[in-house]
Chain A
Amino acid sequence: QITLKESGPTLVKPTQTLTLTCTFSGFSLSTTGVGVGWIRQPPGKALEWLALIYWDDDKPYSPSLKSRLTITKDTSKNQVVLTMTNMDPVDTATYYCAHTEQLKNYAFDIWGQGTMVTVSS
């Protein structure tokens, strides 16, 4: 059974750096064809894809946020970490991590519960 859980601060100040951790079980990020992505959703708004990391360490980023994002994986700990620099109140959102695999054409098939991050001074 695949599960994912996001963790990190619930409140960050403007200009600070946000670090979110996705801890997962039920699969390995060293398995060919597997990946973990991050998607966010501002309150009352649509989903927005942020970044993705594959088993082979390929790391596509959202073009509009690429300069602020870094995604890394720790295969031994079954964790994926997303950092976002220079946080702004418009970055207030629920942040989700999700599993993806080649068998489903890399659709996000299993999602974490999400973690709400508020950006405010």
Chain B
Amino acid sequence: AQKITQTQPGMFVQEKEAVTLDCTYDTSDQSYGLFWYKQPSSGEMIFLIYQGSYDEQNATEGRYSLNFQKARKSANLVISASQLGDSAMYFCAMREGNRWDTGRRALTFGSGTRLQVQP
């Protein structure tokens, strides 16, 4: 079974509107971390936001917020007030295990969602 599932291969959004990118995950660990990365056409991986499994509040970073529903095992990314520069691939990723471990736990990635922001 896939550990990270992103069911939206592509999404369109109008400039200045909000958009939600879906991510569901599968793990038997109680402690884990969820990440979102942005990959523009230039190819670099840009960290956006992090949510720990024990964090009670949904994470926010500027225009990015993470809608974390633990019981449903979903960690959707919400981008508010979309900008043309938000057009990119977006990847959801998970690290299983405690954040204080030796870093042995590598990230597992979903297949990504290509977001296109239209003027």
A, B assembled together: no
Residues of B within 8 A of A (CB): none
Residues of A within 8 A of B (CB): none
